[in-house]
Structure 1
Amino acid sequence: MCDLKSPQLITLLEEETRDHMFLAYERANWLIFRDAYPQLLLYHFSKLENRPLFRSLDRWGVSQFMIEEWEHFWVEKDGDRLLKALIINEQNVIQEPILKHPLYKKKVFRSLLFWMEECLHFSTVLFPTINGNLYGSSVTSFRNVDARIDFGKRLAHILFHTDLFPHFLLFARKVEHTGSRKDYERFMKKPFYSQTPMLRWAFPIVEHHIHTWRDWSQEAVIKDEWFMDSEPGKSVHLTEWFVQKQIQLQWASLMKKI
């Protein structure tokens, strides 16, 4: 999101376009956090009291699907299934209010810019390390809930990989998160600064409200394939790829100025 305030994207994109993209991702992040926080809080208190308290989640607008999955986890201790359920839930939580919202659908997700982002694989999540290596994966067909669920499972596979997780955890503990790419670019062998500002320098605090809420799981069909494993497949080491993409972005910005 802070890339939207970088010199390159300020040059390439109109302010209105950048504002719409920011609001779409900001709203999606808020909806996911609003949904996930009470779940983890109730799990914490369930452990303290040694009994499941998940029926109370409906007071915070958490789906019936997730209530049942937490109760299943409490009995079966199936962490892999719970992880997939959380991914399934969060992507369905944002489907109607974000991906199908008339404004975001027209101005963001059906725009030529977004189509080009997907084709050029700029829609990528990266996991940094303090040794300068970057790992991650890209998503295409972002508007499709099945594709985003598959993407979430692939990211989880990378994040919790036995060889990689200790490096990601060390970075999270050692490096203060500011929202700027400089947080991890400074550790690269050839430091590469893409000039993304810190979050609080780039955007104000945004207040959100829920006007209407619908339980997605009461209207959707829960697909068996959503619980199947998804592995990254291609190489997940993206350090060199990242450098090339940033160079492409800088060249595009320069050509636009010319």
Structure 2
Amino acid sequence: MKRIYPNIPFIGEDKPLCYWIKMIRAQVRDHNKDNISRTMAYQGFFDLHREVRWSLLASLVSRNAGWNMTDLKGGILGDLLSRRRRDDLFMTYERANWTIFEDAYPQLLVYHYSVQAGKGLFHLLDELQVSSFMKTEWIYFWEHRDLGRLVTALIVNEQNLIQEPVILDPVYRRIFTSPLFLVEDRLHFSSVIFPTLDGRLYGASVHGFRDLDNRILLGKKLYRILFHSDHFTDIMKWADMVEPKGSRREYAEGTTGSSSPDLRSVYEEVPHHLRDKRDWSKDRSVKNEWFDPVDLPSEVEIKSWFVHKEKLLMRMNGLAKCMKKLFPLSALTRRS
């Protein structure tokens, strides 16, 4: 008897290929509306398939993206960035996360339907324009159940996926080369945190965000932190108990981020259009080192460090406010 999952529509095996693709794409479209819907879809999938650990990691990273988005509407960045730069930075976050979900969630659904059918349905990935690299990795996972390798493969895939259309795209590149972003990058403001109900913050940061290898390394470190036996249960309790709203109030007691508003109160849904999608794995070699294991970072509880960096950013914001009063057309606000 086949198991029925209430959160994902059932598709009969007798349905034609075009129907399968239509149904999968419809589900992706329904869940890829904004940061909140993506976050909830990833975690909902993990609740169904705990063996696909990447889906929980993706949900928590998506939460961080939501907080970064609403920071742009809160007090901490208002004077450091012009409105245009804040809008550009929001679109950079939004486009990157939309692009990843548009590619990753169909893969998760194909795996789900494979489990439901009791056989691999990974031929569907070709029709969904998923990279040949990931098709091979899903088949390997189906046959060998290597949980860690699948997480790494999905990290490698998502970061390669956004390298050309987002990170190196001329439209978004101006964000990554702006003075403020370069300052943030040098000071490791680009961090991902995993909160707990008792106020701890676990996580890691990346220096050199534009570098593909650095982002892959960060993803692997975050996976090690999240699924370490000392941390997983407490982080998971927080994720289950705290509804994602895109506000740092979700964890902000004892930090400076409480001014961050709810995401849906300040941002509307953004229409996206998928450009010509290329298989990155046919244009770029897969490095063996991407699959090298990483050690658990020596410092994984980072609340003190994170609060210090937030306060430093607030001081920079205060300085920018003073500069704007003294020099209304200051170079900082014009260029950042």
TM-score range, shorter chain: over 0.9
- Alignment partner of 1:162 is 2:229: yes
Structure 1 stretches of at least 4 aligned residues deviating more than 4 Å after TM superposition = none
TM-score by length of 2: 0.73
Measure how far apart 1:193 and its partner are: 4.3
- Alignment partner of 1:173 is 2:237: no
- Alignment partner of 1:48 is 2:116: yes
Q: What is the match of residue 170 of structure 2?
A: 102
Q: Which is further off, 51-60 or 88-97?
A: 51-60
Secondary structure at the counterpart of residue 72 of structure 2: helix
Separation in 2, partners of 1:218, 1:74: 23
Separation in 2, partners of 1:154, 1:192: 25
- Alignment partner of 1:35 is 2:103: yes
- Note the 1:226-237 alignment, pairs <5 A: 226-237=290-301
> What are the superposed Cα offsets for residues 42-87 of structure 1, whole Å, 9 maximum, x if unpaired?
1111011111001111222211100010001111111111111000
Q: What is the match of residue 23 of structure 2?
A: none
Secondary structure at the counterpart of residue 137 of structure 1: strand
Instruction: Tell me the C-alpha RMSD between the 2 structures.
Output: 1.2
Q: What is the match of residue 247 of structure 1?
A: 311
Separation in 1, partners of 2:74, 2:309: 15
Q: Which is further off, 240-249 or 33-42?
A: 240-249
Structure 1 unmatched ranges of 5 or more: none
Measure how far apart 1:194 and its partner are: 3.6
> What are the superposed Cα offsets for residues 131-179 of structure 1, whole Å, 9 maximum, x if unpaired?
0000100001111111111110001111111110101110011111111
Measure how far apart 1:217 and its partner are: 0.6
Separation in 2, partners of 1:211, 1:92: 16
Q: What is the match of residue 128 of structure 1?
A: 195
> What are the superposed Cα offsets for residues 170-220 of structure 1, whole Å, 9 maximum, x if unpaired?
00111111111110013xxx4644411111112111111112110101111
Secondary structure at the counterpart of residue 77 of structure 2: helix
Structure 2 unmatched ranges of 5 or more: 1-68, 323-336
**Residue 54 of structure 1 aligns to which amino acid in structure 2?**
F
Identity percentage of aligned residues: 46
The answer to whether the Cα contact below 8 Å between 1:95 and 1:145 also exists between their aligned partners in 2 is: yes
Q: What is the match of residue 11 of structure 1?
A: 79
Measure how far apart 1:113 and its partner are: 1.4
Separation in 2, partners of 1:100, 1:250: 29
**Residue 86 of structure 2 aligns to which amino acid in structure 1?**
R
Secondary structure at the counterpart of residue 136 of structure 1: strand
- Alignment partner of 1:139 is 2:203: no
Separation in 2, partners of 1:10, 1:166: 36
Measure how far apart 1:233 and its partner are: 2.8
Secondary structure at the counterpart of residue 252 of structure 1: helix
Flag the structure with larger Rg. 2
Please point out which of 117, 126, 130 is paired with 1:62.
130
- Alignment partner of 1:205 is 2:273: no
> What are the superposed Cα offsets for residues 23-50 of structure 1, whole Å, 9 maximum, x if unpaired?
1110000011111111111111101111
Secondary structure at the counterpart of residue 54 of structure 1: coil
Measure how far apart 1:231 and its partner are: 2.6
**Residue 185 of structure 2 aligns to which amino acid in structure 1?**
E
- Alignment partner of 1:114 is 2:181: yes
Separation in 2, partners of 1:111, 1:194: 26
Q: Which is further off, 191-200 or 11-20?
A: 191-200
Separation in 1, partners of 2:184, 2:318: 18
